[in-house]
A = this chain, B = another copy of it.
Amino acid sequence: MEIFKKASEMQAWSRQIIKQGETICLVPTMGYFHKGHLSLIEKGKTLYDRLVVSIFVNPTQFGENEDLDSYPVDLDNDLCHAERLHTDAVFLPSKNEMYKENFQAYVELANLPNHLCGLSRPVHFKGVATIVTKLFNIVMPDAAVFGQKDYQQLRIIRQMTKDLNFDIKIIGAPIVREDDGLAMSSRNAYLTPKQRESGLCLSKSIEKAKAMIKLGETDADIILNKIDVFINSFEKAQIDYATLCDPETLETVKGIKGKTLFALAVNFGKTRLIDNAILDPEQ
């Protein structure tokens, strides 16, 4: 397994692979791998000749009061798993390598970030779109895999890829959950045992919303009011948002007609967890 710290070295490797007529799949990560990451790597590896994993905690997608400095790191573990899963190359740049002095070009979307997580994290998706653009240009992959847990991120990357004509297939991979339903996240490591218990309110809310829709409820306000009461019954759970919206535009819906995104973010002390599901009244 190759490890590249310089963009130019990564680029040279990719150019060589492309010249050989082989395909490349990129899995962009911020490291601290859990089973969710590993599922992305496994997915990418089966579909393309070569698999590149990037590990970079991207500072531009963190707000000033967010957890950039405390974001968990375990590089040895990450590299061990990457190798075990037959990753061909790991791109492991420093912050200075990715954001050189006088850096000033950013990619930004006009509408999709003005919903869900974008409301409480105003710079987040600008940072995400910018770093993913850079990674696309450095790794030059045929495809890239992103987790559906970060639904809004996946939607934004699909839109950006289309709008900016990146000739890259975007693959969404399903949410991986703990046995009790908690969506896997590097940030779960922050949770105290009490918070970990309360963290189940997210996946349980999804089950609750699904059940209400199955029973024929189509009024978004009625569903969301019940979800609010439900989440507030969990200790230390503070709702950032819990919303029903159009899976394409992310605009909130009043009534459940077709496939609808149920997305929520809940704070537990300083730790913010997210979860989501597509609800389908036809199913």
A contact set with B: CB distance below 8 Å: 7, 11, 15, 18-19, 21, 100, 102-112, 129-130, 133-134, 137-138, 140, 159-160, 162-167
Report how far A21 CA is from B212 CA in the complex, Å. Answer: 58
* Closest beta carbon of chain B to A154's beta carbon, Å: 14
Which 8 pairs of residues, A with B, have the shortest CB-CB distance? A105-B163, A104-B110, A137-B165, A105-B160, A104-B109, A134-B165, A138-B165, A104-B111
A252, chain B: closest CB distance, angstroms:
17
Complex contacts, A112 vs chain B, CB 8 Å: 104
Chain B hits for A138, CB < 8 A? 165
A–B Cβ pairs within 8 angstroms, 6 of them = A105-B109, A106-B110, A107-B164, A134-B165, A137-B166, A138-B165
A16 to chain B, nearest CB (A): 12
Residues from chain B with Cβ under 8 Å of A165 in the complex: 7, 11, 134, 137-138
Chain B residues in 8 Å Cβ range of A137: 164-167
User: Which residues of B are found within 8 Å of A21, using beta-carbon distances?
Assistant: 19
Indicate if the CB atoms of B110 and A108 lie closer than 8 Å. no
Q: Cβ of A167: which chain B residues have Cβ within 8 Å of it?
A: 11, 15, 137, 140
For A18, list chain B residues within 8 Å (CB). 18
- Cβ of A255 to closest chain B Cβ, rounded Å: 22
A104 pairs with B159, CB closer than 8 A: yes
- With A11-B167, A19-B21, A137-B165 known to touch, is A107 a contact of B105 (CB < 8 Å)? yes
Chain B residue contacts of A104, Cβ below 8 A: 109-112, 159, 163
A105 touches B134 (CB 8 A): no
Residue on B nearest A14 in the bound complex, by CB: B167
Q: Which residue, of A107, A130, A164, A165, has the highest number of chain B Cβ atoms within 10 A?
A: A165
A134 contact set on B, CB distance < 8 A: 163-165
Smallest CB gap from A21: residue in B: B19
Closest to A18 in B: B18
Out of B105, B140, B162, name the residue touching A100 (CB < 8 Å): B162
Given contacts A100-B163, A107-B133, A134-B163, 9 further A-B contacts (CB under 8 A): A7-B165, A11-B165, A104-B109, A104-B112, A104-B163, A133-B133, A133-B164, A134-B164, A140-B167
